[in-house]
């Protein structure tokens, strides 16, 4: 089966072979786009029917409950027209005129073309309808007053479909369209302020993911996850496979790869890589020297012993790693980022890269929260952040304890 790839917004790969009618082609394209937008992740409750909503979405302002978007006439979007759906995607305004909370990434989806919006609509209208009432949001006052969203939209929302940059290639524009639009990558990789908003000038500079206690690294700083010196294939592999020669994804990003990015065509993954690698670097200064000399020798010794006993078998005596399955820790930017949150969580919680079509049996890391106390966790994380000339900073037992308390019983 030979694929013909057309790299511009609104057009998706058409597979040569058995002929399908126009409606089926649109629905299949819509399914692909809905996956690219990771719609199922938010609009499906754990073990619940696809797209039937009900999933709680914790925010700093209270819980939002994601709506049913199956084509049920009474509780879903069965009575919506394609115009209604496009207005919601493009403007963040529901069919009845209600302003949507920005947990729905309409600030990104506004980039989506009308053709692609119509295809997603056609696909959602084809899924089995589920009669399930939407649960009211549980937001604290005054955040439950939707009128306040007018101010938020004035500050942080700019409506408009993506316009290709004529100075760039078709591949770059395709990648920009996916990253800025359906991929809504900036939602996690851009810090938000107390109002839940972010500035375009700060896009992709990294930040904590609200209420998830994971840090989404900067994609513009070579001290974190800056991609300027990555091979395109390594970036594409990280997006589509979940692992590459430069690293692996865990936590919320693993869910994104599992639900969404693994289904991208090779060409779309490569297009996103082209755009992401072109992001202008904002921090090109060399990393600071190792702070090992500033760490209490007893802490370093506890960290070294803990590492030798629990970590060296997989990651190597000198943090050199063993292939893609067991990544190196020496010189690993994800270990030395300014925020130690992800490193602490990996030691406490462990984690697996997602099982994907190209990596169906991923290796993972076991949790150590039941074996190591806060002092040992802080020591071993400190050790891997400053040993082998790594440029990270020390970690305290208090930081380890704060994240430990978030582990479910």
Name the CATH topology of 170-277: Cytochrome Bc1 Complex; Chain D, domain 2 (1.10.760)
Mean pLDDT of 176-185: 96
Tokens found for residue 210:
């609200």
From the number of C-beta atoms within 10 Å of its C-beta (0-12, 13-18, 19+), residue 206 rates as buried
pLDDT tops 80 at residue 283: no
From residue 352, alpha-carbon distances to 123, 251, 359 in Å are 31, 8, 12
Q: Supply the pLDDT for residue 21.
A: 66
Tokens found for residue 188:
């996690």
Average per-residue pLDDT in the chain?
88
From residue 115, alpha-carbon distances to 10, 30, 85 in Å are 6, 10, 12
Q: Supply the pLDDT for residue 20.
A: 52
- pLDDT confidence of 11, banded at 50, 70, 90? very low
- Counting every residue written for the chain, the total comes to 409
Mean pLDDT of 231-257: 90
Name the nearest CA neighbour of 320 among 308, 332, 328. Answer: 328
Radius of gyration from C-alpha coordinates of the chain = 22
- Give domain 292-404's CATH superfamily: Cytochrome c-like domain (1.10.760.10)
What is the DSSP code (8-state) at residue 352? E
Q: Are strands 247-248 and 243-244 parallel, antiparallel or unpaired?
A: antiparallel
pLDDT tops 50 at residue 206: yes
From the number of C-beta atoms within 10 Å of its C-beta (0-12, 13-18, 19+), residue 340 rates as buried
Q: How far apart are CA 253 and CA 249, in angstroms?
A: 6
Q: Are 94 and 88 in contact (CB under 8 A)?
A: yes
Q: How far apart are CA 338 and CA 357, in angstroms?
A: 33
**Residue of higher predicted confidence among 47 and 121:** 121
Q: How far apart are CA 383 and CA 109, in angstroms?
A: 42
Q: How far apart are CA 89 and CA 104, in angstroms?
A: 9
pLDDT tops 80 at residue 367: yes
Q: Are 41 and 260 in contact (CB under 8 A)?
A: yes
The residue with tokens 């670097």 is 281
Q: What is the pLDDT of residues 133-143, one digit of tens each?
A: 999 999 999 88
Range with the poorest average pLDDT among 29-38, 99-108, 279-288, 349-358: 279-288
Q: What is the pLDDT of residues 59-116, one digit of tens each?
A: 888 999 999 999 999 999 999 999 999 999 999 999 999 999 998 999 999 999 999 9
Mean pLDDT of 349-353: 87
Q: Are 37 and 46 in contact (CB under 8 A)?
A: no
Name the nearest CA neighbour of 242 among 386, 357, 81. Answer: 357
Q: How far apart are CA 166 and CA 169, in angstroms?
A: 7
Range with the poorest average pLDDT among 116-120, 259-263, 333-337, 398-402: 333-337
Tokens found for residue 247:
């690293």
Its pTM stands at 0.87
Cα–Cα–Cα angle for 223, 226, 230, rounded to 5 degrees: 115
Q: Are 263 and 358 in contact (CB under 8 A)?
A: no
Q: Are 333 and 286 in contact (CB under 8 A)?
A: no
- Residues contacting residue 100 through CB under 8 Å, at least 6 positions apart: 88, 92, 93, 94, 106, 149
Cα–Cα–Cα angle for 374, 375, 379, rounded to 5 degrees: 115
Per DSSP, helices labelled H in 136-282 are: 148-156, 170-180, 186-189, 232-240, 252-259, 266-277
Q: How far apart are CA 272 and CA 171, in angstroms?
A: 8
């Amino acid at each position: 089966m030979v694929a013909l790839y057309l790299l511009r917004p609104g057009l998706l790969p058409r597979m040569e072979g058995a002929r399908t009618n126009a409606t089926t082609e649109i629905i299949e394209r819509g399914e692909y786009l809905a996956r690219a937008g990771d719609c199922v992740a938010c609009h499906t409750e754990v073990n619940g029917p696809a797209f039937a909503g009900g999933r709680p979405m914790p925010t700093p302002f209270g819980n939002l409950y994601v709506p049913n978007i199956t084509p049920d006439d009474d509780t879903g979007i069965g009575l919506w027209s394609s115009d209604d759906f496009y207005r919601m995607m493009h403007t963040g305004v529901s069919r009845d005129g209600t302003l949507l909370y920005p947990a729905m990434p309409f600030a990104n989806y506004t980039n989506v073309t009308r053709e692609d919006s119509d295809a997603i609509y056609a696909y959602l209208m084809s899924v089995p309808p589920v009669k399930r009432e939407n649960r009211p949001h549980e937001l604290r006052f005054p955040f439950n007053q939707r009128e306040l969203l007018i101010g938020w939209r004035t500050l942080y929302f700019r409506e408009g479909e993506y316009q290709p940059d004529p100075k760039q290639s078709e591949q770059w524009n395709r990648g920009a369209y996916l990253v800025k639009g359906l991929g809504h990558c900036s939602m996690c990789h851009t810090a938000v302020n107390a109002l839940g908003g972010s500035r375009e000038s700060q896009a992709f500079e990294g930040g904590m993911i609200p209420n998830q206690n994971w840090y989404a690294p900067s994609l513009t700083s070579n001290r974190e996850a800056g991609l300027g010196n990555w091979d395109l294939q390594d970036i594409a592999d990280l997006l589509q496979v979940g692992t590459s020669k430069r690293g692996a994804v865990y936590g919320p990003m693993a869910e994104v790869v599992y639900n969404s990015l693994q289904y991208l065509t090779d060409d779309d993954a490569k297009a996103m890589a082209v755009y992401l690698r072109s992001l202008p670097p904002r921090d090109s200064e060399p990393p600071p020297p190792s702070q090992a000399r500033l760490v209490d020798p007893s802490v370093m010794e506890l960290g070294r012993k803990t590492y030798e006993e629990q970590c060296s078998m997989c990651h190597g005596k000198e943090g050199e790693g063993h292939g893609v399955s067991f990544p190196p820790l020496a010189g690993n930017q994800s270990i030395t980022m300014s925020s130690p949150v992800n490193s602490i969580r990996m030691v406490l919680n462990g984690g697996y890269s997602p099982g994907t079509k190209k990596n169906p049996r991923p290796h993972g890391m076991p949790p150590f929260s039941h074996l190591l106390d806060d002092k040992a966790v802080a020591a071993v994380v400190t050790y891997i952040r400053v040993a082998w000339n790594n440029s990270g900073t020390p970690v305290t037992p208090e930081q380890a304890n704060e994240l430990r308390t978030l582990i479910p019983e």
